[in-house]
Copies of this chain bind each other. A is one copy, B any other.
């Protein structure tokens, strides 16, 4: 599924759990699916609330350049994140837009990408009562939609890596995301 190199960018704002979601994805792929992985985040000075994007590169081979350059998949959890990042996406790349938080989507470029509108923050709110689990819902949606990493691997990574007392809530958010991702995949007949 992964092949030589698969680049993912989770973009949003501080407080949405982006870094933790990036770490879970990285550890799911590396520790449970035998991939090479680099996970990173970059900060601009005095960024309010911390990093606004978390990046993961997954590969069957050793990774030379560790930054995401032309993402195969972008999740945009805010309007600003959408506006800033969507043009970077690879042609035929996958764009998952949080329809709870992103109001305006540039439909003139829609033919270039496989775009999914998912009310990620709303799903997080319903599943866990906490908007900060939005990135976990996104992680589940990535798994359900693409099969890039399995739900089992993500759950295993959470079980060992999530901060004490947050394992169950994170798993619940991921599970809600997986279910939505599965429905999307069935809807488009993707295998």
Among A30-38, A73-81, A120-128, the one that faces the other chain is A30-38
Among A3-11, A89-97, A143-151, A158-166, the one that faces the other chain is A158-166
Residue of B nearest to A59 (CB): B45
Q: Are A66 and B42 in contact (CB under 8 A)?
A: yes
Residue of B nearest to A27 (CB): B50
Q: Are A41 and B41 in contact (CB under 8 A)?
A: no
Assembly CA distance A27 to B161 (angstroms): 20
Q: Are B39 and A44 in contact (CB under 8 A)?
A: no
Assembly CA distance A45 to B43 (angstroms): 27
On chain B, the residues within 8 Å of A67 by CB distance are 66
| Smallest beta-carbon distance A45→chain B, Å | 4
Q: Are A47 and B66 in contact (CB under 8 A)?
A: no
| Smallest beta-carbon distance A132→chain B, Å | 12
Q: Are A45 and B39 in contact (CB under 8 A)?
A: no
Candidates B30, B40, B163; contact of A166 at CB < 8 Å: B163
Candidates B36, B41, B46; contact of A43 at CB < 8 Å: B36
Indicate whether A63 reaches chain B with its CB closer than 8 angstroms. Answer: yes
Residue of B nearest to A48 (CB): B31
| Smallest beta-carbon distance A32→chain B, Å | 8
Given contacts A36-B44, A37-B42, 12 further A-B contacts (CB under 8 A): A26-B41, A30-B47, A30-B50, A35-B43, A36-B42, A39-B41, A39-B43, A40-B40, A40-B41, A42-B63, A66-B66, A164-B164
Q: Sample 15 A-B pairs with CB under 8 A, ordered by A number.
A: A30-B45, A30-B46, A31-B46, A31-B47, A36-B45, A38-B41, A38-B42, A38-B43, A39-B40, A39-B42, A40-B41, A40-B66, A42-B66, A163-B163, A164-B165
Task: Give the interface of A toward B (CB within 8 A).
Answer: 19, 23, 26-27, 29-31, 34-47, 50-51, 63, 66-67, 161, 163-166
